[in-house]
Amino acid sequence: MNVYFDNAATTMVRSEAVDAMLRIMRDEYGNPSSLHHMGRRASAELAAARSSVAAAIGSHPDDIYFTSGGTEANNWAVSGSIEALSHKGKHILTSSIEHDSVFAPIKKLRINGWDVTYLAPDSNGCVSAESFAQALREDTAFASIMLVNNETGAINPVGEYSKEISRRRQGTVLHTDAVQGFGKIPFSIKTLGADIVSVSAHKIHGPMGAGALYVKSGTRLPSFIFGGGQENGKRAGTEALPAIVGFGEAARLVCLEYEQTVERVRKLREYICHRLTVEIPEIVIIGDSGSPFILCLSLPGYKSEVLMSYLDSEGICVSKGAACKKGSRSRVLEAMRLKNEVVNGVLRVSFSRYSTIDESEHFIQTLKKASETLLAVK
């Protein structure tokens, strides 16, 4: 049996999104910027997709800007905000558990003279509202903390961060990377209160190569790519219309199916956690209070790479953390101050609406067999 439990890395593109993309490539292949009838029809398709993504997060369509994915959206949010806010202060507030597409550009800004505070997570991998409030300063120009951690599934109280900024009336721009939360935990632009929000298509059964950045009306964010008037002059270049339309269809459907999908995945995760603790008593569940779509676990004393290889040989796809890390040690888990043997034996198991009980049981039994077979390499 083949089991794909690496949905936090990417999801299968659902058939409805594929059909929508094929329709664009075959029938509505005009350039949205062209003025003839094919261009006008393409422009209407682009507008419809923008409306679908906006509706999925409760924003106005005019506040949505399409990107090539979450990484570009995050880079734009960080670099653009800093360019616009340098006169307000030189302090950035972020966390030590951010995705590299936020962590790396902020690290570069720190090298270039910005004062950066990295908030540490608690034992569940969350950055508390209290720690945010304590670190927020009068000269904090920009803050960026993710909504759902991509390795542990920990959910951060972004709405509370926003309330603290509003209470102080100091104008700090708040960005959140909501890529792993989009369509998977309940939120809207109103409940988050963030000024800038990043989302991506390929985490919700849309295609790779499409993402979006929500920018609150009135928030200054300079253009990211120059040379054309696309995306209201903010991001030049012909829009990837097939991917964007696929994104729009996936966003539309994730809203319609949200409650059913979340309940199904939550029960599946609970089943796996229970069965694992029975079958493999030494298993460690990490940060067991977050997104139902991500399960971070460890077999202390074993090596993640060895466990992954064994599971892969049995047709099971999991990871040891973020796909973009490509095997390097997790700074997220280190920031949680976990023991070395726990970090070394970590696996990230992530689900989708298509994951099944049969797949789960195959995973459980195979991991149990691995823990027995690989005993000699502890």
Residues classed as catalytic = 324
CB-based contact 221:84 (threshold 8 Å): yes
Cα diameter, the chain: 69
How does DSSP assign 268-283, residue by residue? HHHHHHHHHHHH-TT-
CB-based contact 77:175 (threshold 8 Å): yes
- Amino acid symbol at 222: P
Identify the DSSP state of 235.
B
What angle do helix axes 241-256 and 37-57 make, rounded to 10 degrees?
40
b/e per residue, 217-248, with b = 16+ CB within 10 A?
eebebeebeeeeebbeebbeeebbbbbbbbbb
For residues 154 and 127, what is the distance between their CA atoms, to the nearest angstrom?
9
CA count, 13 A, side-chain hemisphere, 101: 24
